[in-house]
Amino acid sequence: MVNYKDLGLVNTREMFKRAVAGGYAIPAFNFNTMEQMQAIVQAAVETKSPVIMQVSKGARNYANATILRYMAEGAVAYAKELGCEHPEIVLHLDHGDSFELCKDCIDMGFSSVMYDGSSLPYEENIKISRQVVEYAHKYDVTVECELGVLAGVEDEVASEVSHYTKPEEVIDFATRTGCDSLAISIGTSHGAYKFKPEQCTRDPKTGKLVPPPLAFDVLHEIENKLPGFPIVLHGSSSVPQEEVDTINKFGGNLPDAVGIPEEQLREASKSAVCKINIDSDSRLAMTAAVRQYLAEHPDHFDPRQYLKPARENMKKMYIHKIVDVLGSDGKLAQ
Ligand code: G3H
Ligand code: 13P
Ligand code: ZN
C-alpha cells in the first residue's frame, strides 16, 4: 500500500473548494507518455496552476500502471526542480470501470479516482460508486462519479446515445454515493468528432462546422440543486482547427473534426464546473507537430528531433487552456 501523501501528491478536495468559490476550473490533462508529463508539469509550474494528471485504463495498458505512477511521483520532483516549492499535482484515475480497478489505483498511490458507472442502471451505479467512496475515503482519496451518459465511447464504457444528466436525480445520487465531485452530461463528448455535421451549422467563410451550444440550462439546474458542489466536464477538448489543418496539410485526414468552443468552456469554468477534462487536444497538438516536423525533415529519424517540437506544442496548448480558458493560473495555495 502506497499513500499518495508520501509521494507529494494532493487530492482534489481543497483545490475544488477554491475553484468553485473563485469561479475557475482545474485542468485535468490525460497523459500516456513522458513528453506529455513534462509538458503538463512545465505548463503548470510556469502558470502557477494546480493540475490534475489523469490516467485512463487505456493509458495503463499502453504505458504500464507502475510506470505511470512513478512518472507522477517524478512530476512532483520535477515541478520542484523547476522552482515550484509547493506544487499541487493530483494523480487521478480517469473512467475507472470497476471497484477493483479503483482500489488498485488507490493502493498504488493515486490521490483521486473516478468511478464511471454512468452506463449502468441508476441503482447499480449508486451501489458501486458508494463502495468506491467508502474505500477511497479511508485513505483520504477523493472520488469523482458520473451521472448521465456522454455520446461516443468513454474508454471502454460505451453508450450509443447522449443522455443529459437529469437534474432531479443529482441530490439523491450525490447524497447516497458520498462522492466528492460529479461528472455530468450537458452535450460534451469524447474525441475529435464531438458532433455530426448534421448537428452543426457551417461557417460560410471557412466551411468549418459550428457546433450547437452546451446545455447551460441543465448545468444551472444542477447547480441550483447542489449549490457549491464540484461539477466535472468530460469531453472538453476544443479540437483547435489550426492543429487539424496542420495535420491535414501534412498527410493526415481528419475531415470535419470539431470540438467544444473555448468561450463555452470559459463560461462553464465560472460556474460550479471545477474540473475540465482535456485529452484529444493534446493528441492533436502532438500529432500536428510530429507530422509537420517529419514532412519538413524527411532525413531525420531521431525521435528526440520530432518529439521536442511535439512537447513544445503541447506545452503551448496546456498554457493556453490554463490561462485563457480555465483561469487556474496563479491559483496555487502557496
Ligand atoms: O475519456 C477518454 C480519455 O480521452 C482517455 O482515452 O481510453 O484512449 O486513453 P483512452
Ligand atoms: P476529450 O476527448 O474531449 O479530450 O475528453 C477527454 C476526457 O474526457 C477524458 O476523460
Ligand atoms: Zn472522460
Q: What is the mean pLDDT of each run of 10 residues along the chain (334 residues)?
A: 97 98 98 98 98 98 95 97 98 98 98 97 98 98 96 47 87 98 96 92 92 95 98 98 98 97 98 98 99 98 98 99 98 96
- CB of 237 within 6 A of ligand 2: the answer is yes
Q: What is the pTM assigned to this prediction? A: 0.96
pLDDT of residue 34: 98
- Which own/partner pairs from 319-325 qualify as long-range (CB within 8 Å, at least 24 positions apart)? 319/43, 319/46, 319/47, 321/27, 321/276, 321/278, 321/281, 322/27, 322/43, 322/44, 322/47, 322/49, 323/47, 324/262, 324/266, 325/238, 325/262, 325/265, 325/266, 325/269, 325/276
Residue 156 CA: which ligand 1 atom is closest?
A: 7
CB atoms under 10 Å from CB of 64, counted, come to 12
pLDDT of residue 160: 53
CA distances from 323 to 92, 157, 227, 320 (A): 22, 32, 26, 5
- 89: CA distance to ligand 2 center in Å? 19
- 287: CA distance to ligand 1 center in Å? 16
- Under 8 Å between Cβ of 165 and 148: yes
pLDDT of residue 199: 87
Give 276's strand partners: 27, 233
Residue nearest to atom 7 of ligand 1 (CA): 155
| Residue indicated by cell numbers 458520498 | 178
- 95: CA distance to ligand 1 center in Å? 8
pLDDT of residue 162: 52
- By most ligand atoms within 8 Å of CB, the mutation choice from 53, 62, 94 for ligand 1 is 94
Residue nearest to atom 1 of ligand 2 (CA): 235
Annotated catalytic residue 94: yes
- CB of 12 within 6 A of ligand 2: the answer is no
What is the number of the ligand closest to the CA of 153? 1
Residue 69: left if φ>0, alpha if ψ -120 to 50, beta else—which one? alpha
- CB of 95 within 6 A of ligand 1: the answer is yes
Q: Which of 94, 97, 279, 281 is catalytic?
A: 94
- 51: CA distance to ligand 3 center in Å? 16
Decide: helix, strand or coil at residue 305.
helix
pLDDT of residue 122: 97
- CB of 279 within 6 A of ligand 1: the answer is yes
Residue nearest to atom 4 of ligand 1 (CA): 279
Decide: helix, strand or coil at residue 52.
strand
- 70: CA distance to ligand 3 center in Å? 23
pLDDT of residue 150: 86
